Amino acid sequence: MFIVTSEEMREMDRLTIESFGIPGIVLMENAGRATAQVLLREVSDLKNKKVGVMAGKGNNGGDGFVIARCLAENGVSVGAYLLTQKGKVKGDAAHNLQLIEKMNIPFKEIPDSSTFASCLPDLAHYDLWVDAILGTGLQSDVQGFFREVIDFLNSTESPVFAVDIPSGLNTDTGTVCGICIKATTTVTFGLPKIGQVIYPGIEFVGNLAVADIGIPRVVIDQIAPKHKILLAEDVASSMKHRLPEMHKGGAGHLLVVGGSPGKTGAAAMTGLAAMRTGSGLVTLGISKSLNDIMEIQLTEIMTAPLPEIEQKVLGISAHEKIVSLLEGKKALAIGPGLGTASETKILVRRLLEDIPIPTVMDADGLNALQGHLDLLKKVKAPLILTPHPGEMGRLLGMSAAEVQKRRISIARDFASEYQVYLVLKGARTIIAEPGGEIIVNPTGNPGMASGGTGDVLTGMIAGFLAQGYPVLDAILSAVYIHGASGDCLAKTKGPIGYLAGDIIDIIPEQMKRLSESSSDGGEDIPLIKKL
């Protein structure tokens, strides 16, 4: 499903009005009626409640006036408040303001702070509020007494339904513009907005419903948004179905290069996760001093002892053996638990120029790139980097906090400049492909913030690659199922305390569930409902 910027949505509205002749007032009517229907359907005993509509002077306020009218038509007690003088309302919004006056819906102008203060006793009697104050075009901090109004609505115990976007939320970044409505439910129009599906915006949107207001599909295709949110049905449709005569060789052979003293578990989990996704064969290349213990620990995974340096880690002497091991392999995963010895980093950088197969690079593999990003432009095969914000920050010479503030733009710019696939891990993992497209993953939860979960993801992506999945399909399948596995564990075991190994164990179950859900119409994105 596409997610859009405020500019893209405005352009879709414009093309719908100008190219298809659908008047703006019709779009406003559709938007208001859709929101009213959500209220009537989801709020129990609404006709015995008192609903207040807080409206600004723009089209968002106009939507609010339509909502007030539709609720009144359905026997709901509703009152409308305009946060400006009536004469400042123009266009379609002004038309709908006139209609609620004709219907004798209680209405009051609140043009300033003192008037707002005088209204507080009346405002306290409403059971539910509709936030139609500010729309999707907000870029600067909320000004004037609007801050007082938003603070008041947040302080009440009444549910707040936001129209299109919670007032005060930046549509494109999900950041708060000084202050923001904390909505119970947001009904957005046409398509979800980027700021509604990433953090911190998610925390203010509440339940998100997407209403079709009549934007033609051809208009959406013409704009061709560059951002998407990943749907279960997208992943399910790309899953491969095995033929009855399939054998292990046909299911692909993965090479994992990783592990060092104290970090062998990372490499082991990467290999096991790959096998759980269906990779037919996995070979773990590890320093020869650690090989014996890994042979005991791993029963389904083959091991290959590699030349090492004194610290029992890999150095440049392992280069030739690793290159020879690549023969016959379908994919490579490098980095989990590899260590940060200087000669190990040299080995990783040397291998970059010689790898002929799709490669997933994570953890210490990424650390080897610090200060040497120019090498990425010499890679011949598809390359997937899977940093967490700290690793991304080290690569770019900035803090993890700076990365978190601009996750989407940083991921897009990096993937485009170096022509790699970037999986920026974290809450709502961002997938950026070399052409500039961004996909946001909705699965996952805070319980996954524990050691080894990243190694599992690396193995899952590499496992799908080894089976012959197209690169982007392999990434999206792995990221979605990885998060969905964590979500399942959070429900069954508890929100925290489950382990990376637990995720590995239920990967097949989640793949099966995904396949079954696609056959019966798919499953909803968490927190998103299509109307």
Q: Are 62 and 33 in contact (CB under 8 A)?
A: no
525, pLDDT greater than 80: no
Task: Quote the crossing angle between the two packed helices 471-492 and 507-519, to the nearest 10°.
Answer: 100
Q: pLDDT for 395-419, tens place per residue?
A: 999 999 999 999 999 999 999 999 9
- The backbone torsions φ and ψ at residue 326, rounded to the nearest 5 degrees and listed phi first, read -65, -20
Tens of pLDDT along 85-101? 999 999 999 999 999 99
| 409 Ramachandran zone, left/alpha/beta (phi>0; psi -120 to 50) | alpha
Higher pLDDT, 329 or 517: 329
Which residue segments constitute the domains of the chain, with CATH numbers given? 2-225 (3.40.50.10260), 232-240+258-518+525-530 (3.40.1190.20)
Lowest mean pLDDT among 43-52, 210-219, 235-244, 463-472: 235-244
Q: What is the pLDDT of residue 250?
A: 83
Give residue-wise pLDDT tens across range 53-97: 999 999 999 999 999 999 999 999 999 999 999 999 999 999 999
pLDDT of res. 378: 94
Hey, what are 50's tokens? Answer: 């008192």
Banded model confidence at residue 229, pLDDT cuts 50, 70, 90: very high
Whether residue 13 is predicted with pLDDT greater than 60 in this model: the reply is: yes
Tokens of 306: 């590699």
Q: Is 512 exposed, middle or buried (0-12, 13-18, 19+ CB in 10 A)?
A: exposed
What's the whole-number mean pLDDT along residues 113-137? 96
Q: How confident is the model at residue 530 (pLDDT cuts 50, 70, 90)?
A: low
103-127 burial, b at 16+ Cβ within 10 Å, e below that, comes to eebebeebeeeeebeeeeeebeebb
pLDDT band per the 50, 70, 90 thresholds, residue 517: confident
pTM of the model: 0.92
Q: Would you say 228 and 437 are in contact if contact means Cβ atoms under 8 Å apart? A: yes
Mean pLDDT, residues 241-248 taken together: 82
pLDDT score of 521: 43
Is residue 468 within 8 Å of 252, Cβ to Cβ? yes
